[in-house]
Amino acid sequence: MTPPRILFYVQYLEGIGHVMRAKRIVEQLLRRGCRVALVLGGNPIPGFDVAGATIHQLPPVHVGQESYSVLLAEDGTPIDDAFKAARRDHLLAIYQAERPNIVITEAYPMGRWAMHFELEPLLAMADADTQRPLILTSLRDILQMPKSTEKSDKSMELFQRYYDAMIIHGDPNLVRIEESFPPLAGMIERAHSTGLVAPVDRESVVQPATDKFDVLVSGGGGAIGYQVLAAAIAAKPLSAQAEKRWLALAGPRMSVGDYERLAQQADANGVRLERYRDDLVGLMRDAQVSIQRAGYNTIADLLVARCPGVLVPDAGGGQMEQPLRAEKLAALNCAVVVPEERLDPTALAAAIDRAVALPERSTEFNLDGAAEAAEKICLLWRDTQVAQHSRELG
């Protein structure tokens, strides 16, 4: 059977975590002989590439810190109806050029509602195609339930109207998707859990780091990222780990001013400060504790490395994804949680010492989500082809 042609749509509005998860899945699809067109809708990522895939860049949009619902063009100006129409037409032209056997939308229709102006036309075109493709949604293990019941009802109506199945990139041993998005409880028979999409696959091993540290700190981007690092560095002399080797990673997007302030504080407290490391999982594997946020990709790193964590989940704007993930990990003795509102050096020092003393975790998680997602997508395609062939014969 000829491997399928796949159109994989990914809209990222702030960070690039969604793109990196999709990249790992696409790489596994390519290994299985699939032809993949990856459609990106956020600001261009310098140096980003997926060898073997076709990458289509839509006119980019993102959101600012003030509002998650106002879409901005690459230059920071709000987009208008003409911009939306041009993007929609661009996306539909990509579909017509690629003629996919499978269409995958990342997050939508359970998220990315702001992109409805282009995604419902795409789905309608695919659904009406004489060679209708298999239509799937690619979902993170924890979703953000909309405040409006009208919006959640619309999500479910779109899923029932257009989609054949949902691919859930999570492990039910950690969290079940219906815990964060209850309406999906009635659709679980159309859900396929793949495990977490981790930075290494079943055939890979974690590469060792070039040097070793006992305590790692990474805060992500933005103002709260600075606060996490500043509190952690100040916590060092208050912790039982004060004489150990500490490494703090500021992140490539931290402002020069914040980085320089942290550098002075780090020097005074005997903490090594760097912007970025590409051997983070190896560093975690050798560390006694990692202090970090609770986003999907950073938690996957932590679980692969089997490193105890101190988690400061992002709860800004009423977001519940990171607090729920952190709560689940704490309940399984994988981490200690410090809420943002209680973030200070004393609380962080106590949390670090508790995390170092955590027993070795007994719960095992499926971390092979990229390979399993690719296998499931290909299997669903084969099942569709077999069913169609049977109908033609009958």
Cα separation, 339 vs 361, whole angstroms: 22
* DSSP-assigned letter for residue 27: H
User: What would the pLDDT profile of 339-385 be if each residue is shown by its tens digit?
Assistant: 999 999 999 999 999 999 999 887 889 999 999 999 999 999 999 88
Q: Which residues in 270-349 belong to E strands, given as ranges?
A: 272-274, 289-292, 309-311, 335-337
pLDDT of the residue at 278: 83
Helix (H) or strand (E) holding 105: strand 102-106
For residue 68, what are its two tokens? 């998650």
pLDDT in tens, 160-206: 999 999 999 999 999 999 999 999 998 999 999 999 999 876 556 67
Q: Is the dihedral of CA 183, 187, 191, 195 positive or negative?
A: positive
pTM of the predicted model as reported, rounded to 2 decimal places: 0.92
Q: Which tokens sit at 346?
A: 């004393």
Enter the tokens of residue 353: 């010492």
* Other C-beta atoms lying within 10 Å of the C-beta of residue 314: 19
Residue type, 313: P
Find the mean pLDDT for residues 268-291. Answer: 93
Tokens at residue 303, please? Answer: 């679980």
Distance CA 291, CA 289 (A): 7
Calculate the CA 367 to chain-centre distance. 14
pLDDT in tens, 302-322: 999 999 999 999 887 778 999
- Cis status of the peptide bond prior to 44, with omega within 30 of 0: no
